[in-house]
Structure 1
């Protein structure tokens, strides 16, 4: 039977007993349906993971005994940062989930001219928390022990000056592909647009910020497909699969 993995954003140490809070306890007991004596793997995002065993598991309390530490590292050797135009509901969730599986190091949701999602105040805070939970679950599923950060949503104009390393902007109208770029020295910053793509003015801003427009092929890809296809190609060329 596959050993379940659980993200616990608390200090962890071999031999310690950890009492789970309501949400994590509910997830372990009701969703994973684990019981007393079951083994699992826990991690807190600080690197490596721990064996653990459930000591108490009932409606009133769930606790774990933390076992041996395993310094497993499944991170990409390439630091990739993703600026992602905000899209609706499940499309955004899918893009974030799969970006984590593909080894992205950080994600910044971006407000753009053609963004159809309006977020402000409490709703923005709720969506940010939701996206971070999508990342946690993707790390649990994919085996990652470092948790990529989802940064505060901001405007494209405010985010562009923060980009570093090789800067790539996905643009179906571009004439060059990824294979034409020199391998990056350091990090990669990938910019992917929302539903409806970038406006001409936004493309010009990206180019002025040293982003290289890149096309992924002759077909126009959906917003959630474009970012994932680019991440997979980047990892193949320069990251996980590069030799």
Structure 2
């Protein structure tokens, strides 16, 4: 059954209502007809069964049915703080991190960043990645799309990171002696570097803010592989 995200709160109501433009376009592209069944979610957790009641050139109307609360999220909320790789690799990270269950992604710039974004360009990219996360959530069955934070410098992000004893925090480093191991905290945060890796000073700064340097093994993983390797490990643990 087709699943669509809607950017308005879904609540039980008598009668039908018009879908927001984004979801309406998807329904129109699929050439659905009155009486067809769809699934809707608004990002807060519940999933709603719905029925198309009317199809127009500029409006699609639906009626909500029953709702359920699927258990498709990871047992702990995971934040990925990723120094953005170049080209379209960030799109890939966003899509796959959503599929693997990440709760939040923080796009960062570091000393060795190839991709640097500021102002309107940074906000447009963030909005684009948010759309990628929503599309991935529609596809994989999640009802809470991964949140994408604004782009910011690594140093700024570290300096504003609030203390949280219930969150395990690590920085991925191929030079770290400590391997990633199971932990008990309810939440987790991982910092992953760019193509050239984080500098020694940046790893030291992260360690100073409470992030333990951990290794993912003897091989050097690409910038778009390392954060997804962590998410795969967490999704299966």
Q: TM-score, normalised by structure 1?
A: 0.89
Cα deviation 1:18-39 (Å, max 9, x = unaligned): 3123333222212x44333221
Q: 1:16 offset after TM fit, Å?
A: 4.8
Residues 1:43 and 2:45 are matched in the alignment: no
Equivalent position of 1:200 in the other structure:
200
Alignment root-mean-square deviation, CA: 1.7
| Residue-by-residue CA offset, 1:85-127 (whole Å, 9 max, x unaligned) | 1122421011111111111111111111111112122111110
1:231 equivalent to 2:231? Answer yes
CA distance in structure 2 between the aligned counterparts of 1:216 and 1:33, rounded to whole angstroms: 46
Query: What is the aligned partner in structure 2 of residue 171 from structure 1?
Result: 173
Query: Partner of 1:68 in structure 2?
Result: 66
Deviation beyond 6 Å, 4+ runs, structure 1: none
Q: Provide the C-alpha distance between the structure 2 equivalents of 1:52 and 1:89, rounded to a whole number of angstroms.
A: 39
Q: Secondary structure at the match of 1:223?
A: coil
Aligned to 1:241: none
Which of 147, 152, 155 is the matching residue for 2:153?
Answer: 155
| 1:47/1:73 contact within 8 Å kept | no
2:105 equivalent to 1:107? yes
Secondary structure of 1:229 counterpart: helix
The DSSP-based 3-state class of the residue aligned with 2:111 is coil
Distance in 2 (alpha carbons) for counterparts of 1:12 and 1:139: 17
Measured in 1, the distance between the counterparts of 2:222 and 2:121 equals 25
Name 2:123's counterpart in structure 1.
125
Give unmatched runs, 5+ long, in structure 2. Answer: none
Alpha-carbon contact 2:7-2:20 (below 8 Å) kept: no
**What TM-score do you get using the length of structure 2 for normalisation?**
0.91
